[in-house]
C-alpha cells in the first residue's frame, strides 16, 4: 500500500472516531437538556399548581368556617368574595395542571425497568385520572355544601350553618386526602425525572470516559503504526537519509559507515545499492582510462624509437638493411600495440556508455521517488488540515456543552429561588398555626368565662336569666371557634406536610440539577481533552510533512549528483571515442612505415 493511502486511511479513521465521540456527547447533552426542560417546564409547575390548589382549598375552608359563625351581612359578603376569588384561582390552577398533566413524558425521563418496578411497588394507590375524577366529584359536593352554609349564614341561621359545616367536614377531609395523593404522585414524577437525569448523567460520564480512553489508545496505536510503516518504507530516519544524500552529493561514496547491513531496506537500501553500483562503474572507468593511458605511452615510445631509427638510417647506409629489419619489427610492434589499444579503448567506451545509461536509469528512479515523497508531503499537509477541521468541530461541541451548562445553571437558580419561596411559605404557615393556637386559647378562656357567667346568672335567679342566655350564646360561639380553629389547624398541618413533601422533592431536584451540571462540566473537560489531542495529532502530521519535505530536498540533491556523474561519464565516453580515432590514425601510420621498410628491403 502507498504511503499516501496509509496516511489518508489512518487520519480518516481517527477523524471518524472523533466524530463518533462528538455525536455521543451531543446526544447525551440533548438528553440532559430534555430531562431538565421537562423538570422545569412540567414537573415543578405541576407540583406548584397542586400545592397552590391545596393551600387555597384550606383557605376557603377557613373562610367558610368564619362565615358559618357570622351574622353580619357585610362580613359574610366579604368572606364570600374571598372564597369566590380563591375558587377562581383554584379553577385557573386546575386548567394549568390539566394542561401540564396532558403533556407526554419524554422518553429520556423514563426510569429504567428495575427502578420503575420499585417505585410502582411503593405507590400502589390510585392513578392520576382516577384521583382527578374523585377530586371533581368531591369538589362538586363541597361546593353544594358551601353554598348552603353561606345561604344559612345570610339568613341568620348560624346553628344550621355550623351543623352543616360540621357534617361537611368528612367530605372536605376526603377531598384534601385526594389532593395529598395527587401531590404524592407529582412528587414521585419529579423523583422519577430526577432519577432519569442522574442515570443519563452517569451513563454519559461512563461513556465519555470509555470513548475518550479508546480514542486516545486508538490515536497512539495509529501514530505508532504510521511511524513504523514510514520508517520501514524509508529504511532509516528522514534526517539520516538527508545526511547520506548530502555526503553522496559531496563525493563521499562510503556507505558502510553504519556497519549494519542486515537492517537496510526501503529507500535507504535502494540509495545504498545505487551508490555502490555508481562507485563500481566509476572505478571501472578509471581503470580503463589508466590502461588506455599506458597503451598511449607505449605507442609514443614506439614512435620515438621509429624516429630514431629513421635518423640512423639516413646517417648510416651500411646498416640500412639491419636498421630496416629493426624498423619493421618496431612497426609490427606498433601495429600490434595500436590494435590492442583500440580494443581497450572500445571496451572503455562501451563501459562508459553503459555507466551513463545506468546513471540515467538511477536518475529516473530518483525522480520517481522524489515525486512520491512530494505526494506524501502533500497528503500529510491535507491530513493536518483535516485534523485542524476536527479540532474546530470539537471546539464547537465544547461550546454547545458550555451553553447546556449555562442553561442547567439557570435552572439551578430557579430551583433555589423556588426552594426559598417554599421555605417562606412554610414559615408563614407556622406563623398562622401559632396564631391559631392563640385564638384557640382565647376561645377556651372565653368558654370558661361564659361558663362562669352562666353560673353567676343562675345564682342571680330571674334577674340573671337574660344574661345566662347571652352567656350560653357566647359559649356556643367559643365552641364553634374552637372547632373552626381545629379545622384550620388541621388544614395548616396538611399544608405544612405538603410543603415538606414539595421541599424534599425540590431538594432532590436541585441535587440532580447540580449532578447534571457536574456531568456537563466533565463533558466540557473531555471535549477540551479531545481538542488537545487533535492539536497533538496535527503537530505529528506537520512533523511528518516537514520530514517528507526534507527527504524530498535530499532526493533532489542526490538526483543532481547523479546527473553530474552521468554527464561526466558521457564526457569520458566521448574522450574514449576521440582516443580511438587517434589510435586508428596511429595504426595507419605504422602500416605506412611497414610499407616503406618493405620498399627499402626490396631496393636493398
Return the closest-CA partner of residue 356 out of 602, 80, 156, 574. Answer: 574
Q: SS in 3 state form for 205-235?
A: HHHHHHHHHHHHHHHHHHHHHHHHHHHHHHC
Report how far residue 83's alpha carbon sits from residue 143's, in angstroms, rounded to the nearest whole number: 11
Mapped onto helix, strand or coil, the DSSP state of residue 448 is helix
Cell of 31: 438528553
Return the closest-CA partner of residue 14 out of 376, 387, 397, 532. Answer: 387
pLDDT of residue 18: 79
67 against 283, higher pLDDT: 67
Mean pLDDT of the chain: 72
Q: Kindly report whether the global pTM for this prediction surpasses the value 0.75.
A: no
59-76 mean pLDDT:
87
Share of the chain above pLDDT 70, in %: 47
- How sure is the predictor about 593, in pLDDT bands with cuts at 50, 70 and 90? low
21 against 572, higher pLDDT: 21
266-292 mean pLDDT:
72
527-550 mean pLDDT:
64
Locate the DSSP E strands across 410-555: none
Mapped onto helix, strand or coil, the DSSP state of residue 237 is coil
Contact yes or no for 36/472 (Cβ under 8 A) = no
Which of 148-152, 230-234, 312-316 shows the lowest per-residue confidence on average (mean pLDDT)? Answer: 312-316
List the helix and strand counts (H, then E) for the chain: 11, 0
Report how far residue 89's alpha carbon sits from residue 332's, in angstroms, rounded to the nearest whole number: 141
Q: What is the DSSP letter of 126?
A: -
pLDDT of residue 81: 93
pLDDT of residue 24: 80
254-282 mean pLDDT:
66
pLDDT of residue 89: 94
Element (DSSP H or E) covering residue 66: helix 44-68
Buried b (16+ CB within 10 A) or exposed e, 45-57: bbbbbbbbbbbbb
Residue ranges of domains in the chain: 1-395+543-604
Question: Would you say residue 40 has pLDDT above 80?
Answer: yes
pLDDT of residue 87: 92
- How sure is the predictor about 120, in pLDDT bands with cuts at 50, 70 and 90? very low
- According to the per-residue pLDDT averaged within each range, which of 218-222, 280-284, 598-602 is highest? 218-222
Question: Would you say residue 439 has pLDDT above 60?
Answer: yes
Give the list of residues 6+ apart from residue 149 with CB closer than 8 angstroms, or none: 64, 67, 68, 161, 164, 165, 168
311-332 mean pLDDT:
60
- How sure is the predictor about 312, in pLDDT bands with cuts at 50, 70 and 90? low
Contact yes or no for 457/471 (Cβ under 8 A) = yes
Distances (CA, A) of 194 to 37, 44, 191: 11, 11, 5
Half-sphere exposure of 375 (CA within 13 A, CB side): 13
Half-sphere exposure of 152 (CA within 13 A, CB side): 21
- How sure is the predictor about 513, in pLDDT bands with cuts at 50, 70 and 90? low
pLDDT of residue 212: 81
Give the list of residues 6+ apart from residue 251 with CB closer than 8 angstroms, or none: none
Buried b (16+ CB within 10 A) or exposed e, 123-142: eeeeeeeebbebbeebbeeb
Question: Would you say residue 353 has pLDDT above 90?
Answer: no
94 against 537, higher pLDDT: 94
Mapped onto helix, strand or coil, the DSSP state of residue 104 is coil
366-377 mean pLDDT:
61
173-202 mean pLDDT:
85
Amino acid at each position: 500500500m502507498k504511503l499516501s493511502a496509509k496516511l489518508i486511511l489512518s487520519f480518516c479513521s481517527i477523524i471518524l472516531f472523533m466524530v463518533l465521540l462528538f455525536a455521543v456527547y451531543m446526544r447525551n447533552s440533548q438528553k440532559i437538556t430534555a430531562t431538565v426542560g421537562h423538570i422545569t417546564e412540567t414537573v415543578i409547575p405541576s407540583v406548584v399548581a397542586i400545592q397552590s390548589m391545596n393551600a387555597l382549598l384550606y383557605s376557603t375552608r377557613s373562610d367558610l368556617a368564619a362565615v358559618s359563625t357570622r351574622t353580619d351581612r357585610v362580613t359574610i359578603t366579604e368572606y364570600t368574595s374571598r372564597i369566590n376569588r380563591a375558587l377562581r384561582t383554584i379553577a385557573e390552577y386546575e386548567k394549568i395542571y390539566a394542561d401540564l398533566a396532558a403533556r407526554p413524558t419524554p422518553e429520556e425521563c423514563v426510569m429504567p425497568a428495575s427502578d420503575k418496578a420499585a417505585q410502582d411497588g411503593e405507590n400502589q394507590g390510585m392513578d392520576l385520572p382516577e384521583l382527578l375524577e374523585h377530586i371533581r366529584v368531591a369538589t362538586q359536593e363541597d361546593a353544594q355544601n358551601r353554598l348552603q352554609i353561606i345561604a344559612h349564614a345570610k339568613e341568620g341561621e348560624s346553628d344550621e350553618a355550623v351543623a352543616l359545616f360540621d357534617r361537611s367536614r368528612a367530605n372536605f377531609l376526603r377531598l384534601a386526602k385526594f389532593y395529598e395523593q395527587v401531590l404524592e404522585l407529582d412528587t414521585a414524577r419529579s423523583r422519577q425525572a430526577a432519577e432519569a437525569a442522574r442515570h443519563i448523567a452517569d451513563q454519559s460520564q461512563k461513556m465519555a470516559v470509555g470513548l475518550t480512553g479508546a480514542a486516545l489508545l486508538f490515536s497512539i496505536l495509529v501514530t505508532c503504526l504510521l511511524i513504523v510503516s514510514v520508517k520501514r518504507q524509508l529504511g532509516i530516519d528522514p534526517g539520516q537519509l538527508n545526511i547520506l544524500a548530502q555526503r553522496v552529493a559531496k563525493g563521499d561514496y562510503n556507505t558502510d559507515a553504519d556497519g549494519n547491513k542486515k537492517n537496510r531496506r526501503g529507500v535507504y537500501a535502494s540509495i545504498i545499492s545505487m551508490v555502490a553500483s555508481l562507485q563500481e562503474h566509476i572505478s571501472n572507468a578509471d581503470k580503463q582510462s589508466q590502461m588506455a593511458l599506458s597503451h598511449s605511452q607505449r605507442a609514443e615510445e614506439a614512435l620515438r624509437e621509429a624516429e630514431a631509427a629513421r635518423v640512423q638510417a639516413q646517417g648510416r647506409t651500411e646498416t640500412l638493411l639491419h636498421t630496416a629489419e629493426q624498423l619493421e619489427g618496431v612497426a609490427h610492434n606498433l601495429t600490434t600495440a595500436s590494435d590492442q589499444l583500440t580494443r581497450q579503448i572500445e571496451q572503455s567506451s562501451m563501459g562508459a556508455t553503459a555507466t551513463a545509461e545506468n546513471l540515467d536509469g538511477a536518475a529516473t528512479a530518483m525522480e520517481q521517488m522524489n515525486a512520491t515523497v512530494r505526494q506524501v508531503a502533500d497528503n500529510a499537509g491535507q491530513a493536518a488540515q483535516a485534523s485542524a477541521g476536527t479540532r474546530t468541530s470539537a471546539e464547537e461541541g465544547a461550546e454547545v456543552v458550555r451553553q447546556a451548562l449555562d442553561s442547567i445553571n439557570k435552572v439551578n437558580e430557579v430551583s433555589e429561588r423556588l426552594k426559598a419561596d417554599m421555605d417562606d411559605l412554610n414559615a408563614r404557615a407556622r406563623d398562622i398555626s401559632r396564631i391559631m393556637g392563640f385564638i384557640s386559647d382565647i376561645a377556651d378562656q372565653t368558654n370558661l368565662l361564659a361558663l362562669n357567667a352562666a353560673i353567676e346568672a343562675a345564682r342571680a335567679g330571674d334577674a340573671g336569666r337574660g344574661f345566662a342566655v347571652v352567656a350560653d350564646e357566647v359559649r356556643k360561639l367559643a365552641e364553634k371557634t374552637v372547632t373552626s380553629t381545629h379545622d384550620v389547624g388541621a388544614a395548616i398541618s396538611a399544608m405544612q406536610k405538603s410543603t415538606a413533601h414539595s421541599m424534599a422533592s425540590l431538594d432532590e431536584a436541585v441535587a440532580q440539577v447540580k449532578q447534571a451540571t457536574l456531568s456537563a462540566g466533565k463533558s466540557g473537560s473531555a471535549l477540551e481533552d479531545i481538542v488537545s489531542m487533535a492539536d497533538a495529532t496535527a503537530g505529528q502530521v506537520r512533523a511528518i510533512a516537514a520530514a517528507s519535505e526534507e527527504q524530498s530536498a535530499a532526493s533532489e540533491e542526490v538526483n543532481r549528483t547523479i546527473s553530474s556523474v552521468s554527464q561526466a561519464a558521457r564526457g569520458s565516453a566521448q574522450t574514449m571515442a576521440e582516443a580511438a580515432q587517434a589510435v586508428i590514425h596511429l595504426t595507419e601510420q605504422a602500416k605506412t612505415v611497414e610499407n616503406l621498410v618493405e620498399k627499402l628491403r626490396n631496393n636493398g
